[in-house]
Amino acid sequence: MNPFSYVPATDTSSAVALAAGGAKYLAGGTNLVDLMRQGIETPRELVDITRLPLADIEEQPGGGLRIGALVRNTRVATDERIRDRYPVLAQAILNGASPQLRNRATVGGNLMQRTRCGYFYDRHSACGKRDPGAGCAALDGFNRTHAILGTSESCVSVHPSDMCVALAALDAVVNIAGRDPVPLVDFHRLPGDTPHVETMLAPGELVTSIDLPPAQPGRSVYLKVRDRASYAFALVSVAAVVRMEAGRATRVRIALGGVAAKPWRAYEAEELLTGTSLDDELIHQAAGQALAGSRQRAHNAHNAFKAELARRLIRRALQGVRS
């Protein structure tokens, strides 16, 4: 960890001003402190934003909820309104990390998590996230946990968040200090030739809150498959939110985790299913559609199983929520 100065911020505008000068925001620290200790993140200055007034969950006019960027994950998952109206979000959070980490980690920080790729974490391996243009050691290395959708020759890493998968399925919106809100599905970026650019935030910009649109009647589920029963990142996860009216799905949202550098919305599958009774055959077809664009290396594709796993999870999720 390199030496840095530590500044506790007292108000948002001064925090943003410090960050404009190159400081990095520190909130729960559950990812940043680790990355600094590994020498992956090397800020000269840290602005501790944990005391900024961004730690409330508030009702919005029109029935939505606003979750402050500094609300801890445990609080989100415990909040009665979230559990009643957006249970998929509580489920997703509770399926991630450990209670200790969730007590500390914030909603904003969860959004800003960086990938857990072992080559990204090793300063001596080729990684375009750390060293733009350096290539990607995972392409021909151990990539069993890596992405199958939206990948590039520069990067096959995945975004590790569970929470963001649920937020994507809920059509959440990210509020950023000093600019227009951004839909969560547009917040994270696919790697392309610039894997080091992970979100649409400009340097120094601050996420202030997440807006959940008014809850839709219907059912939802979050399913996650991992290598052990708990306390592990997803191999594949699915968040599905479905509104059924008179036996027809009038609104379908499907988001995948563990498959891409961002929470992945399966728009074509959603479209295919909307207006239908979600019968098995259509679900099967939609699950296939969702993974139609999946790509694995011709050789060295340790992650090839993820496409089939994702299809099966989508089917299970939809069969679970259609009744």
Partner 1 sequence: MSSIQLRLSVNGREHELELDSRVSLLDCLREHLGLTGTKKGCDQGACGACTVLLDGERVNSCLVLAAQCADAEVTTIEGLASSEAGRAMQKAFVRNDGLQCGYCTPGQVCSAVAMLAEYEAEVPSAVGEAGLTDAEIRERLAGNLCRCGAYNGILAAVREVAR
Partner 2 sequence: MNLAARGFTLAGKALTRLARLLPDGRPDPLAHRRAELGRPTDRLDGRAKATGAVRYTAERQLPGLAYAVVVGSTIARGRVTAVHVPPAPGVLLVMTHENAPAMKRTPAYATMKGPLGAAAMSLPVLNTDEIFWYGQPIAVVVAESLEQARYAASLIHADYEPWPARLSMADGKPYTPAHAVLEEPVTRRGDVRTALGAATATVEAEYTTPLEHHNAMEPHATVAHWEGDRLTVHDTAQYPYGVKEMLAKKFSLAEENVRVLAPFIGGGFGGKTPAWPHVWLTVAAAKLSGRPVKLVLSRADVFAMTGGRAPTSSRVALGADATGRLTALEHHALAPCTTDEFAEAAVAASRHLYTCPNVHVAQQVVRLDRIQNAFFRGPGVAPGSFALESAMDELAWRLGLDPLELRLRNEPERDPMSGIRFTSRHLREAYALGAEAFGWSRRPPAPRATRDGRWLIGHGMAAAINPDAVLIAGVQLRLAADGTVTIRSSTNELGAGTSTAQSQATADRLGLPLDRIRFEQGDSDVARTRIPGASAATTTLASAIWSARDNLVRELLKLVRDTGSPLAGRSFEEVDTRAGGLFGPSGGQSYERILARAGVEAVEVTGKSALPYQTVKRGTYSYGAHFCEVRVDEETGEARVTRWVGAFDGGRIVNPKQATSQMRGGIIMGIGMALTEETLLDERTGLIVNRSLADYHLPTHADVPAIDIHFVDQPDPQTPLGAKGIGELGIVGVAAAIANAVYHATGERVRSLPITPDKLM
What residue ranges bind partner 2 (CB under 8 A)?
Answer: 1-3, 37, 39, 116, 118-119, 121-122, 124-125, 137, 140-142, 144, 225, 227-233, 235, 305, 308-309, 312-313, 315-316
Residue 124 interface partner, choices partner 2, partner 1, none, CB cut-off 5-8 Å depending on type? partner 2
CB of 256 to partner 2, least distance (A): 14
CB of 38 to partner 2, least distance (A): 8
CB of 80 to partner 1, least distance (A): 9
Question: Which of 85, 102 has the CB closer to partner 2?
Answer: 102
Does the protein bind partner 1 through residue 90 (CB under 8 A)?
A: yes
Residue 309 interface partner, choices partner 1, partner 2, none, CB cut-off 5-8 Å depending on type? partner 2
| Beta carbons of 106 and 27 less than 8 angstroms apart | yes
As a whole number of angstroms, the distance between CA 27 and CA 79 comes to 20
Cα dihedral sign, 287-290-292-294: negative
CB of 208 to partner 1, least distance (A): 20
Answer for which of 52, 65, 88, 94 binds partner 1 (CB under 8 A) is 94
Does the protein bind partner 1 through residue 266 (CB under 8 A)?
A: no
CB of 305 to partner 2, least distance (A): 4
Does the protein bind partner 1 through residue 236 (CB under 8 A)?
A: no
As a whole number of angstroms, the distance between CA 96 and CA 102 comes to 8
* Nearest partner of 122 among 40, 181, 67, judged by Cα: 40
Long-range contacts of 93-99 (CB under 8 A, 24+ apart): 93/162, 93/163, 93/166, 95/162, 95/222, 95/224, 95/234, 95/237, 96/161, 96/162, 96/163, 97/30, 97/73, 97/231, 98/230, 98/231, 99/74
Question: Which of 14, 100 has the CB closer to partner 1?
Answer: 100
Which amino acid, 19?
A
Residue 77 interface partner, choices partner 1, partner 2, none, CB cut-off 5-8 Å depending on type? partner 1
Question: Which of 83, 295 has the CB closer to partner 1?
Answer: 83
* Nearest partner of 21 among 44, 53, 42, judged by Cα: 44
Q: Which residue has the tokens 């911020």?
A: 9
Q: How many residues of this chain interact with partner 1, rule: CB under 8 A?
A: 35
Residues 103-132 as x/- pattern, contact with partner 1 by CB under 8 A: xx----------------------------
Cα dihedral sign, 41-46-48-54: negative
Largest CA distance in the chain: 62
Residues 52-81 as x/- pattern, contact with partner 1 by CB under 8 A: ----------------------x--xx---
As a whole number of angstroms, the distance between CA 166 and CA 56 comes to 19
CB of 301 to partner 2, least distance (A): 11
CB hemisphere CA count around 277 (13 angstroms): 5
Tokens coding 107: 């909603």
Q: Which helix (H) or strand (E) holds 257?
A: strand 248-257
Residues 202-231 as x/- pattern, contact with partner 1 by CB under 8 A: ---------------------------xxx
| Beta carbons of 37 and 1 less than 8 angstroms apart | yes
Where does this chain bind partner 1 (CB under 8 A)? Answer: 1, 3-6, 8, 26, 28-30, 33-34, 37-38, 46, 48, 50, 74, 77-78, 83, 90-91, 94-95, 97-101, 103-104, 229-231
